[in-house]
């Protein structure tokens, strides 16, 4: 009797379990029920039936053996610059330009006697010097005549400047043509012949001979200053502009000539008493010392607020591509576990702050603080990525080039209408389309915008078009202006295709540098998956098997400091 009761209880339990399984199958979605009944289901814990494999292990084995020992990618990236700034300012000291003009005695002689007779002749030559003939004007020759007979002839550098029968006394000064002057000048005094009066002598006795002129001192009309341009700045230049404030009087000054490294960038009378701007070609700048020269021919200039401003090109980081044979992967289908579970990573905008994650490393950790704001682009001061902003200190707005915002995407009141404010409906001048939603839509109303940093970096924040693969670059999904939503695939299916690289084999990135003394820092993205490179070694090896995909793969390098990579390789090796 006791055994019969036990058997009856067991049968009841079996029927109850069978009924529960049947109810579970009835309430499953049709696609999952079909996959389960066909033994084609892969469980969320990673297990799957053998029938789910769509590529035979024999084919995969053959494909992987062709890859082992081969260099799949070999590139020589060379120098990759880190741009910590988007612009530079070179402020220079004030300069004073002026000229002075003073009367000066160029030559002085107490007396001079010349004669010309039938049997006796005496002519005189005098030599005088002019330091700078171009800046010597109003040159005069003066003398007194004590004795005069015949015609007096005077030559300057071979050119006759006087031929006359003069009388005794004081002669009006003779103006000399400045064009006849040179550094070394010869003046010749002679007397005409006596002719038929052979018994007489023509002669002149001159006293107090002087040559005078107005000499302009130009030693202070030129000023040269020096500023330094780094290699990083030089090789990424986009624009160069000079700002200066000339204190001058337009009616009393001559043209101002400005040169950069001997290239003339300006030559005219500037606007006095206001800031002047001259834009010039960045090609005239050199890496290292550069020379800025101001020069005037006339008048006085006091030039201050001198500033050479440069803007750098928007940096494009190198990306390299390589192919992996699709046959080298094992494929299956499984329930999309992301619909049921979520991996929370420090740094992701996912509404969750992982344990041990800093507020300066994760936006969600930042927003846990009161009145705190997040910067999508890491500022120069890493501790300012998450900060509190209040009316008491609005200067913090300038630390974040992409604009601070709260968890709803709004800029703080103190930073409204600046670059990065996505809700003000305006694009500030000079703001990048990758920093401000309004700038993205201003460029083209059909562009698509990502509200957080895309997995490949900010260069994908504003897209003109989207492929099916690119739709996944933005964690929260791209959005268009108004009703212009992107045409991205429906992610509602509960079954997804999964793949794994052939078991027992791994893919490695191998970086070879030019030295083992400098520190090398970079963020490296493999198909959007980021890892941090930090080494002093000559070679750095990283296993990236979990990041690779069938077909085309990408490697993007974003340096945190300038570095030089001699060789970048992708290789496949068999595991231990």
CATH number for the domain spanning 225: value is: 2.60.120.260
Q: Are residues 380 and 434 in the same domain?
A: yes
Q: Are residues 104 and 144 in the same domain?
A: yes
Mean pLDDT score of the chain: 84
pLDDT of residue 226: 96
Q: Are residues 383 and 527 in the same domain?
A: no
Q: What is the mean pLDDT of residues 283-309?
A: 94
First-last CA distance in the chain: 63
**Backbone torsions φ then ψ of 177, nearest 5 degrees:** -70, 120
The answer to whether the beta carbons of residues 317 and 556 sit under 8 Å apart is yes
Q: Are residues 118 and 161 in the same domain?
A: yes
Q: What is the mean pLDDT of residues 505-525?
A: 93
Q: Is the pLDDT of residue 12 over 50?
A: yes
User: For residue 139, what are the β-bridge partners?
Assistant: 176
* Euclidean distance between CA atoms 436 and 421, whole angstroms: 6
Q: Are residues 397 and 504 in the same domain?
A: no
Q: Are residues 500 and 558 in the same domain?
A: yes
Q: Of the given ranges (159-173, 193-207, 318-332, 352-366), which has the lowest mean pLDDT? A: 352-366
Confidence of residue 184 (pLDDT cuts 50, 70, 90): very high
| Token reading at 533 | 């490179």
CATH number for the domain spanning 75: value is: 2.60.120
The answer to whether the beta carbons of residues 364 and 534 sit under 8 Å apart is no
Confidence of residue 84 (pLDDT cuts 50, 70, 90): confident
**CA-based nearest residue to 436, from 446, 444, 428, 448:** 428
Which residue bears the tokens 């001198």?
306
pLDDT of residue 330: 83
Q: What is the mean pLDDT of residues 88-94?
A: 95
The better pLDDT of the pair 405, 41 is held by: 405
Q: Is the pLDDT of residue 464 over 50?
A: yes
Q: Are residues 524 and 574 in the same domain?
A: yes
* SS3 readout for 105-169: EEEEEEEEEEEEECCCEECEEEEEECCCHHHEEEEEEEEEEEEEECCEEEEECCEEEEEECCCCE
Among residues 186, 217, 248, the one where a domain terminates is 217
Tell me the pLDDT tens digit for each residue of 364-422. 888 877 778 888 888 888 888 898 887 656 678 888 888 888 888 888 888 888 888 88
Number of structural domains in the chain: 5
The strand ranges marked E within 165-287 are 169-170, 174-176, 184-191, 201-217, 222-229, 237-247, 256-260, 263-268, 276-280
Among residues 200, 217, 234, the one where a domain terminates is 217
Q: What is the mean pLDDT of residues 175-198?
A: 90
Q: Are residues 351 and 486 in the same domain?
A: yes
Q: Which residues contact 243 (CB under 8 A, 6 or more apart)?
A: 275, 276, 277, 305, 306, 307, 308, 309
Q: Are residues 464 and 419 in the same domain?
A: yes
**Domain containing 290: what range?**
87-98+219-312
* Euclidean distance between CA atoms 506 and 488, whole angstroms: 32
Q: Are residues 354 and 449 in the same domain?
A: yes
Confidence of residue 288 (pLDDT cuts 50, 70, 90): very high
Say how far residue 427 (Cα) sits from the centre of its chain. 21
* Euclidean distance between CA atoms 332 and 52, whole angstroms: 5
Tell me the pLDDT tens digit for each residue of 142-157. 999 999 999 999 999 9
Q: Are residues 60 and 178 in the same domain?
A: no
CATH number for the domain spanning 163: value is: 2.60.120.1200
Q: Is the pLDDT of residue 44 over 50?
A: no
pLDDT of residue 333: 62
> Global pTM?
0.43
Q: Are residues 478 and 569 in the same domain?
A: no
Positive or negative torsion for Cα 97, 100, 101, 107: negative
Which residue bears the tokens 């490695």?
508
Among residues 163, 195, 217, the one where a domain terminates is 217
pLDDT of residue 331: 80
């Amino acid at each position: 009797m006791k055994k019969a009761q036990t058997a009856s209880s067991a049968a009841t339990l079996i029927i109850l379990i069978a009924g529960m399984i049947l109810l579970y199958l009835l309430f499953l979605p049709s696609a999952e029920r079909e996959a389960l009944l066909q033994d084609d289901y892969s469980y969320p814990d990673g297990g799957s039936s053998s029938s789910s494999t769509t590529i035979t292990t024999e084919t995969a084995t053959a494909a992987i053996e062709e890859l082992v020992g081969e260099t799949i990618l070999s590139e020589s990236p060379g120098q990759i610059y880190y741009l910590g700034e988007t612009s530079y300012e070179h402020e220079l000291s004030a300069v004073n330009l002026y000229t002075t003009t003073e009367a000066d005695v160029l030559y002085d002689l107490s007396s001079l006697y010349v004669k010309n007779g039938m049997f006796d002749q005496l002519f005189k030559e005098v030599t005088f010097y002019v330091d700078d003939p171009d800046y010597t004007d109003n040159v005069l020759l003066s003398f007194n005549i004590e004795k005069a007979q015949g015609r007096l002839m005077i030559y300057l550098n071979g050119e006759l400047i006087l031929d006359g029968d003069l009388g005794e006394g004081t002669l009006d000064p003779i103006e000399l043509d400045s064009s006849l002057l040179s550094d070394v000048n010869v003046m010749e005094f002679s007397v005409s012949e006596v002719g038929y009066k052979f018994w007489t002598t023509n002669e002149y006795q001159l006293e107090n001979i002087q040559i005078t002129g107005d000499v302009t001192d130009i030693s202070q009309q030129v000023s040269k200053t020096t500023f330094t341009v780094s290699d990083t700045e030089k090789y990424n230049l986009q624009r160069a502009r000079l700002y200066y404030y000339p204190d001058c009087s337009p009616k009393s000054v001559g043209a101002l000539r400005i040169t950069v490294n001997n290239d003339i960038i300006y030559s005219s009378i500037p606007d006095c008493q206001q800031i002047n701007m001259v834009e010039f070609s960045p090609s005239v700048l050199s890496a290292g010392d550069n020379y800025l020269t101001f020069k005037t021919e006339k008048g006085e200039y006091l030039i201050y607020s001198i500033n050479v401003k440069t803007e750098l090109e928007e940096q494009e980081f190198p990306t390299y591509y390589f192919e992996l044979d699709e046959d080298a992967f094992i494929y299956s289908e499984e329930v999309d576990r992301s619909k049921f579970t979520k991996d929370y990573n420090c740094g992701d905008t996912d509404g969750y702050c992982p344990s041990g994650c800093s507020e300066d490393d994760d936006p969600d950790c930042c927003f846990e603080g009161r009145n705190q704001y997040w910067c999508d682009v890491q500022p120069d001061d890493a501790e300012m990525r998450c900060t509190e902003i209040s009316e008491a200190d609005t200067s913090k707005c300038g630390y974040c080039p992409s604009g601070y915002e709260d968890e709803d995407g709004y800029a703080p009141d103190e930073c409204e209408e600046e670059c990065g404010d996505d809700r003000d409906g305006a694009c500030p001048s000079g703001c990048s389309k990758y920093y401000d939603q309004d700038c993205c839509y201003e460029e083209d109303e059909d562009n698509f915008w990502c509200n957080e940093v895309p997995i490949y970096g900010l260069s994908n924040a504003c897209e003109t078009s989207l492929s099916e693969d690119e739709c996944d670059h933005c964690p929260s999904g791209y959005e268009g202006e108004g009703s212009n939503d992107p045409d991205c695939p429906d992610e509602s299916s509960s079954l997804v295709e999964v793949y794994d690289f052939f078991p027992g084999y791994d893919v490695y990135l191998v970086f070879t540098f030019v030295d083992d003394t400098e520190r090398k820092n970079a963020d490296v993205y493999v198909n959007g998956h980021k890892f941090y490179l930090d080494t002093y070694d000559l070679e750095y090896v990283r296993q990236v098997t979990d990041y690779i995909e069938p077909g085309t793969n990408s490697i993007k390098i974003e340096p945190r400091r300038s570095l030089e990579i001699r060789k970048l390789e992708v290789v496949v090796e068999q595991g231990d």
